[in-house]
Structure 1
Amino acid sequence: MPPRSTNQRVQPSPTQNLLSFIPRHLSPEATAILLTELSKPISPHDDEGYIYIFWLTDTDKTPDIDTASSLLAQPHARTKDIDSLARSYSRREQSDAQRRTILLKIGRANNVHRRMTEWTQQCGYALSLVRWYPYISSSPQSSPRRENPPTHLRPDSVRPPMAMRSSSDQIRKVPHVHRVERLIHLELADKRVKRNCDACGKEHREWFQIEATERGVKAVDDVVRRWTAWAEQHQK
């Protein structure tokens, strides 16, 4: 038997491939939950669509379209720093008067503009669209394009196939959008609003309380981009 080449590259295991999409800072419990979800087969009925982020504010203090979209804008496109902007529309936590948060609604839709007209308000809050995905900062929001893996992914994460990278200019939706929404919600579970709504009495599983800072808002964008990238690599 010929000696094994010392230059032979060891292929990552399926579990290692899945772990490459899960941040190391998550708790073991959260990591296990995400791994379990990732291990499930993708339903053939899981259609493509868009992931959206809406900003929920008091109806008497609603940001305009430019202000809402600037919450995730690049520094050169901002008229105000994110920390100041978020605090302007934030609220104090009842359990911690020093902590200020904003309320985001994160979900899926086949037609974001239709959702905007349907949901100008919900349970006493005004809804403003922050961003939808797939999203690339150099592209206008009216023309979603194929998402690329975010730069903060682990260095050992699996790169998308060459065929996918070469066709990165194709306009498309997020594949397996139900699964993507589920993965996003699982990772952000510790930020989900876990109480019944005062207006309708229901628990809104798409509502999340996010720290009113640039770091808090960017973390949400990173989560959505990462699972959108995962879907691109696992499309049918």
Structure 2
Amino acid sequence: MSKVTQLEDAEEELMWRLTDMTLDDSEPRFVGGFNPVIPTNGLTSSAARPGARNQTTPLNFPTPVHYASPGPLPTPPRPMYESISQGGSSQRLSRTMQHALSPPDHRRMPPKAQQTPIPSPPSKPIFKQTLPATPPPAPSTPVRSRPLPAHLPASAPPKTSTSRATPESTARSSRARSASSPPSPTLSAPGSPQRRSQCNGFTRAGKRCKNVVAECSPLESLNPGDHMGLERYCHIHKKEVLKDPKFILPSGRGVHRDDWIPNYLHPQTQANILREMQKPLSVADEPGYIYALEYRVPGDRDRVHYKVGRSYSLNQRTNQWDRQCGSKQQYLRGWWPGSIQDGEKTIMKGCVDPGEPGPYCHRLERLIHLELADLVSNEQYLQSQFPDVMPALQAMKPRAKEQCPDCGRVHREIFSFAKAECGPFQDKEWEKVVMPVIEKWGRFVQEYYLAQPDEVVH
């Protein structure tokens, strides 16, 4: 057999094998499956089929497993958009886009009910307490204050009970908090030992200096309640006030500062004396007397006390002191004008001829008190180089004043000088300290104020 014949037989055999391929025992037909046959003798003879040269035996494949139908597919979800028509063309827009393109008509919407505004709560509670007509009976045992819990820090303030708040304290705190005006320059109660004040100086821009001065003048240190008319200056304005050695009075007369204001005085004292000297005179400043009483406290051998004040009736005033405080031995040492100006007048009780009163006793009294208070506080006269000593620069602090055991009052204008143990001022506090100060300022008033009637302010 030639090779050509073998190739033709192989092609015919391959065609028949592909035709006979099937998956079941049915009649072979070509539906895309295969029904291979196994030749009995290696190659299928075509004589096994009509017109075939070789006979083939079909190959038995396993029957596939048939599963039940899974059923219909699930219904797809409803689309989130609809088909709307705009301008004759159909478009598929989302619901958000539909609301954006066609907003609701507010004119067709029902009006909303007007709601009453809710008042805002007050910034702080206001406690009101009605006092009963008759006070409740006092408890048999005193109420003890509750201590702070141990877990609270030391800086935490104790909580005050609202039931104990009185109407006076509540109203006072409400007024203080609700005030819209700026605080007063005085940062504590008048007369308080810790009174702090705003500086009385002015800046170059013409505005009040904002510095707070805690340092008080020696006069205020001796008399904590006597701060009216006294001014305080910060370290900047103290130098500015005392810079010029000469100043001009309202009358136009020039005054050299060193002729009247000693350099050993405290700077606050110098500034207040300078301010007092330049004040315009007042028509209400009537003539009067400046008197000095020396009184001694039993058992006090270290100090000598002087009451320096003013009066319109000298004899009447000295008699009042004798009746008011009888436990103290009092002696009239002198008055201005009179015995201090004229040394020939007697100071014996019952024989005092006061003479004519001096002018502007209010102004004179203030000038004398300012310098005497500085000498009492700083005791410059006890130094060996006095009066050539440097001014004291330590801060003045208010002193506690004791009540008089005779009248129960706190006496003012009393200057207690430390006694000198030796030197030229021993037992000479009146002659060399107090009286020269009174005489100097009395002379200043007569020289610069008495001869200037146009200077008086009506």
Smaller-chain TM-score bracket: 0.5 to 0.7
**Contact map agreement 1:121 1:127 (CA 8 A) in 2:** no
Unaligned runs of 5+ in 2: 1-245, 347-351, 378-398, 420-425, 454-458
Q: Tell me, yes or no, if structure 1 residue 91 matches structure 2 residue 91.
A: no
Amino acid at match of 1:203: V
Percent of pairs identical after alignment?
Answer: 31
Q: Within 5 A, what are the aligned runs for 1:75-154?
A: 91-92=300-301, 100-123=302-325, 124-134=327-337, 135-141=340-346, 142=352
- 1:37 aligns with 276
Larger radius of gyration: 2
Q: With CA pairs under 8 Å and 6+ residues apart, which has the higher RCO, 1 or 2?
A: 1
**Contact map agreement 1:174 1:231 (CA 8 A) in 2:** no
Partner Cα distance (1:55, 1:138) in 2: 18
**Contact map agreement 1:194 1:203 (CA 8 A) in 2:** no
Q: Tell me, yes or no, if structure 1 residue 227 matches structure 2 residue 429.
A: no
- Secondary structure of the corresponding residue to residue 140 of structure 1: coil
Give me the TM-score of the superposition, normalised by structure 1: 0.60
Give me the TM-score of the superposition, normalised by structure 2: 0.32
* 1:13 Cα deviation after fit: 4.1
Partner Cα distance (1:215, 1:107) in 2: 20
Q: Taking structure 1 as reference, are residues 114 and 185 closer, same or farther at Cα in structure 2, changes over 3 Å only?
A: same
- Secondary structure of the corresponding residue to residue 56 of structure 1: strand
**Contact map agreement 2:341 2:439 (CA 8 A) in 1:** no
* 1:119 Cα deviation after fit: 1.7
- 2:364 aligns with 180
Amino acid at match of 1:17: V
- Secondary structure of the corresponding residue to residue 222 of structure 1: helix
More helix, by proportion: 1
**Contact map agreement 2:291 2:336 (CA 8 A) in 1:** yes
Partner Cα distance (1:194, 1:44) in 2: 35
- 2:413 aligns with 206
Note the aligned Cα RMSD (angstroms): 2.6
How many matched pairs? 162
Amino acid at match of 2:311: A
Unaligned runs of 5+ in 1: 1-11, 62-89, 93-99, 145-170
- 1:17 aligns with 255
Q: Tell me, yes or no, if structure 1 residue 54 matches structure 2 residue 54.
A: no
- 1:216 aligns with 429
Amino acid at match of 1:33: N
* 1:46 Cα deviation after fit: 0.3
- 1:76 aligns with none
